[in-house]
Structure 1
Amino acid sequence: MIKLIAIDLDGTLLNDETTISERNIAAIKRAIEQGIEIVVATGRANFDATMFFKEIGLSPWIISTNGATIHRPDGRLYQSIPLDKQQAIDMLIQLEKDQFYYEVFIENRICAPKYGEKTLFDELEKGIFTKNETALFRRGIEIQFGQSGFSFISSCEELMDSDIDIYNILAISYIEEKLRDGWKKFNKLPNLTVVQSGNYNFHLQHKEASKGNALRLLTAELGIDLAQTAAIGDNHNDISMLQIAGKSAAMGHADNVVKEVCDVVTSTHNEDGVAQFIESILNENLI
């Protein structure tokens, strides 16, 4: 019997309008009514992810910043694995040198360089994209800037205060060669994991920070066996939790590498794929 369901946000629970469909909401509430713990597992910051659930009157556990932080339903921090501070600053200096757009996830804030907005739009103009793709990417940029707690900084020097923990660094580029070269610069650094959550980004985080490790820790806290868990996602940063969950589902639009590690493939994020997966679990629990 499934007692916990971990759900990714972007590309999974959230549709292209960055909203949670009525069917998905209804399925989640039915699961909660039947005693199933709902856990959100996202690359977003906790305070940003929380906003989606306040609107529908829910307060789940939230695994955020790709597993670098876990927050209780009341918003209190349960666990965190920040990056080594000096290593984080060194990487930010390199990203600024290479004119990467980046986002730094710290407690209660998401910081991006002031030059970042121009950089992203300039890269879109240089890229070989269709009109529809360009419009979609522009919408994505607007969503990035609209995140809760988002602010621009002059440079990473503003983050050097020893009291500021850096949980995750997200780098974005619409130039494939630039993105690939950036990945190579960081991929072999010690105590670091580099992971994708989309085709045009990579995250820099502590090697022990992952959705899978966070899910393992949380289930131990809640006294739930991993065999009694389910997880659903769509991208590479979800694989660590999909691999350890008792039952796993990939979204219909997920990369093949994600589908290959999952037990089932559901519909897309625009077709209530999460609801379909939860409904199947609820039906199985009744058998």
Structure 2
Amino acid sequence: MQKLVAIDLDGTFLNENYTISSLHADTVKKAQKKGAQIVIATGRAQFDVQRLFHDQDLSAWVIGANGATTYDPDGTLTLPLPLKTVYAKEIVRWLAEENYYFEIVTDKEIFITSNAKQLLEDEMDIVQQADKEEMKKAKERQLGQANMKEIDDYMRVFQAEKDIYKVTIVSFDEERRRVAADTLGKNDLNLYSSADFNMEIVDGQASKGHALKKLANKLDIKKDDIIAIGDSMNDLPMLEAAGTKVAMGNATDEVKEACDYTTDTNEENGVATMLEREILKRKD
């Protein structure tokens, strides 16, 4: 029976240096040769995932932007769920007025305003309650994404009539993140956190779980034949959609409690351990 394996990216498939280990890459390729359908499910944009794939010559389905996009292994967008324009405008207008760092994510680029980098630097200088080294790593992660473009005025994105799949907020100030969540939260929107210090806003129907169910239906794969593995709270909808739920060794306690078992950490190649158990060593 064909299996569909959904794998989270940061904290799961990636190590602490935000790269894919050769063991993880090789084990995925072996699982694919055995007939498994592999999907990377992440808050990142698909083109950023492809940048990571390139070094290891990988190809897979990609659920990006926390379920707002799904791409086939050839890179074709198949199941889009863009933000409603009226909501996207409200969100970015408020963020700009309140001097938040934010990213506007389309299917081709990540747009930031020309003062965005300085906003992150200013927060790092002001905020005392967060670890300085962790803030530095978070800043490098955000600014190291693929296809980032600076613009003078965020309205240029709307004038170009581009579909917006996600707006990402990064703040090192816990209170500012809470205020943003309280202000921008709506019934027609989903808010996720996929990394320290960030918040991601997508369409209300978008989640890794919803996208995984639609992909499974497209591939005619039943829930019992879906395996999902993750480490963070935004992985819970994806794990709920799977017949076999696996937590990383570095997962939060809530994720571990929701799963059938816990594998090794991302630094210990926990995805490879899971694929060996669930795909490569199985006789069926």
- Normalised to the residue count of structure 1, the TM-score between the two structures is 0.94
Residue identity in the other structure for 2:115? Y
**SS of residue paired to 1:197:** coil
**Counterparts of 1:15-26 in structure 2 under 5 Å?**
15-26=15-26
Equivalent-residue separation in structure 2 for 1:268 and 1:4 (angstroms): 21
**Counterparts of 1:1-287 in structure 2 under 5 Å?**
3-128=3-128, 133-161=131-159, 163-187=161-185, 189-282=186-279, 285-286=282-283
Residue identity in the other structure for 1:31? A
Residue 2 and residue 232 in structure 1: after superposition, are their counterparts in 2 closer, same or farther (change >3 A)?
A: farther
> Structure 1, unaligned stretches of length 5 or more?
none
Question: What percent identity do the matched residue pairs reach?
Answer: 35
Residue identity in the other structure for 1:111? F
**SS of residue paired to 1:285:** coil
**SS of residue paired to 2:255:** helix
Deviation at residue 284 of structure 1 after TM alignment? 5.5
Equivalent-residue separation in structure 1 for 2:145 and 2:223 (angstroms): 32
CA offset digits 1:122-175 (Å, max 9, x no partner)? 212222357xx4234313312321211111122321111263111011111001
Equivalent-residue separation in structure 1 for 2:160 and 2:26 (angstroms): 44
8 Å contact 2:138–2:197 — kept in the other structure?
no
Equivalent-residue separation in structure 2 for 1:169 and 1:180 (angstroms): 16
8 Å contact 2:247–2:256 — kept in the other structure?
yes
Equivalent-residue separation in structure 1 for 2:209 and 2:23 (angstroms): 27
**SS of residue paired to 2:79:** strand
Deviation at residue 248 of structure 1 after TM alignment? 1.2
CA offset digits 1:44-79 (Å, max 9, x no partner)? 111110122222222111110111011111111111
**SS of residue paired to 2:190:** strand
Residue identity in the other structure for 1:165? D
